């Protein structure tokens, strides 16, 4: 098994745009021929658009784009810009009189990072889609949906850390699989291979890591105003041939990667979501792909932490001195 670039898996294109002053952005995945896709949502507070399309019970068998963005529910209009670009280029589901681009979207909460009144909109989504086709520009770090991403927010923003978006991909024989993850969790982040904490809530003096799980164990009293501005978003990409029923299962197995790397995870205060998409025709065992999905998710989380730069007054892992 060898590491490859996320861009080497198949004909899927990725474009990113961000507003650095506002601390928000979007990452758009597009496939003009349409892609089989599944979704598994484990967090209790997702902000999403058109995600029921990915249920095995719905009619659509392919979608044309996935959008990850900031701005919470305010940023869901970014998908309209992606639809506009795709429609202009005759990409979509043929309904006879026109073609309708099928675009799904999930958002994270970054309104407390920069400008709470500026968020991804139709113009930003259009530009990200244009870049995906004309000049694919995916990068790990403070880009796209990761522009305003932070972690370790149980005790508020004053003790959190800056993270971003990260990717990791591998090849095993003909099989290629990778993941892109925008890490904006309530909890702390760990290296899944050795169990060491690499990001998360800081102590009050900022000189070491605190423990979000330990903080939660201090009391079982009901908290009515717990910090809720979170959500980790992931996309698993493979060249293996699967339809959306199997891809929903693979997305679910990918959540094992979240559980290994984020503590706590899948809370009602997060909107944790993972998409899984098939962009190839390689025959592969679903359980093997699901196993690898969890691993590339965990590695992508590490990349999101290690590639992030300090910003908006929040320190990144690369700048910690302890």
pLDDT for the residue numbered 148: 97
Angstrom distance (rounded) from CA 10 to CA 71 = 29
Angstrom distance (rounded) from CA 262 to CA 161 = 14
Q: By the 8 A CB rule, do 277 and 289 touch?
A: no
Angstrom distance (rounded) from CA 162 to CA 158 = 11
pLDDT band at residue 234 under the 50/70/90 scheme: very high
Residue 135 scores a pLDDT above 60: yes
Q: Which residue has the higher pLDDT, 226 or 154?
A: 154
Angstrom distance (rounded) from CA 179 to CA 167 = 5
pLDDT for the residue numbered 227: 61
pLDDT for the residue numbered 228: 60
Maximum C-alpha span of the chain: 63
Residue 155 scores a pLDDT above 80: yes
Q: Could you give the 3-state DSSP secondary structure of residue 198?
A: strand
Range 289-306 average pLDDT: 98
Neighbours of 277 (CB within 10 A): 27
Residue 152 scores a pLDDT above 80: yes
What contacts 206, CB < 8 A, 6 or more positions away? 159, 315
Q: How far is Cα of residue 10 from the mean position of the Cα atoms in its chain? A: 19
Range 112-127 average pLDDT: 96
Rounded to the nearest integer, the mean pLDDT of the chain is 95
Residue 72 scores a pLDDT above 80: yes
In terms of Cα–Cα distance, which of 290, 273, 248 is closest to 183?
273
Angstrom distance (rounded) from CA 9 to CA 269 = 33
Residue 51 scores a pLDDT above 60: yes
Taking only the tens place, the pLDDT of each residue in 188-225 is 999 999 999 999 999 999 899 999 999 989 888 777 65
Burial 262-274 (b: 16+ CB within 10 A, else e): bbbbbbebbbbbb
Q: Could you give the 3-state DSSP secondary structure of residue 229?
A: coil
Task: Tell me the two tokens of residue 165.
Answer: 């978006």
Residue 139 scores a pLDDT above 60: yes
Residue 277 scores a pLDDT above 70: yes
């Amino acid at each position: 098994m060898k590491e490859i670039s996320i861009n080497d898996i198949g004909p899927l294109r990725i474009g990113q745009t961000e507003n650095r002053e506002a601390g928000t952005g979007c990452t758009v995945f597009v496939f003009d021929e349409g892609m089989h896709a599944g979704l598994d949502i484990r967090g209790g507070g997702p902000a999403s658009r058109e995600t029921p399309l990915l249920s095995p019970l719905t009619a659509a068998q392919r979608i044309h784009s996935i959008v990850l963005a900031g701005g919470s529910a305010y940023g869901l209009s970014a998908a309209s810009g992606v639809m506009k670009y795709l429609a202009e280029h005759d990409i979509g589901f043929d309904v006879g009189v026109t073609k309708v681009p099928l675009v799904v979207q999930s958002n994270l909460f970054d309104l407390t990072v920069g400008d709470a009144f500026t968020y991804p909109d139709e113009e930003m989504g259009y530009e990200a889609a244009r870049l995906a086709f004309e000049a694919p520009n995916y990068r790990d770090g403070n880009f796209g949906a990761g522009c305003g991403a932070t972690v370790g927010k149980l005790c508020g923003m004053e003790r959190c850390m800056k993270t971003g978006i990260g990717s990791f991909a591998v090849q095993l024989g003909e099989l290629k699989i990778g993941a892109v993850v925008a890490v904006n969790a309530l909890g702390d982040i760990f290296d899944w291979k050795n169990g060491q904490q690499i990001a998360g809530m800081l102590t009050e003096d900022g000189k070491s890591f605190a423990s979000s799980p330990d903080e939660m164990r201090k009391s079982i009293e009901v908290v009515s105003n717990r910090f809720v501005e979170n959500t980790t978003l992931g996309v698993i990409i493979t060249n293996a041939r699967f339809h959306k029923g199997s891809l929903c299962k693979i997305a679910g197995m990918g959540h094992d990667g979240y559980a290994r790397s984020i503590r706590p995870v899948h809370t009602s205060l997060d909107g944790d979501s993972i998409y899984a998409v098939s962009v190839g025709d390689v025959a592969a065992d679903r359980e093997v792909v699901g196993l690898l999905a969890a691993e590339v998710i965990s590695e992508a989380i590490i990349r999101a932490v290690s590639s992030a730069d300090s910003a908006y007054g929040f320190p990144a892992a690369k700048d910690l001195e302890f």
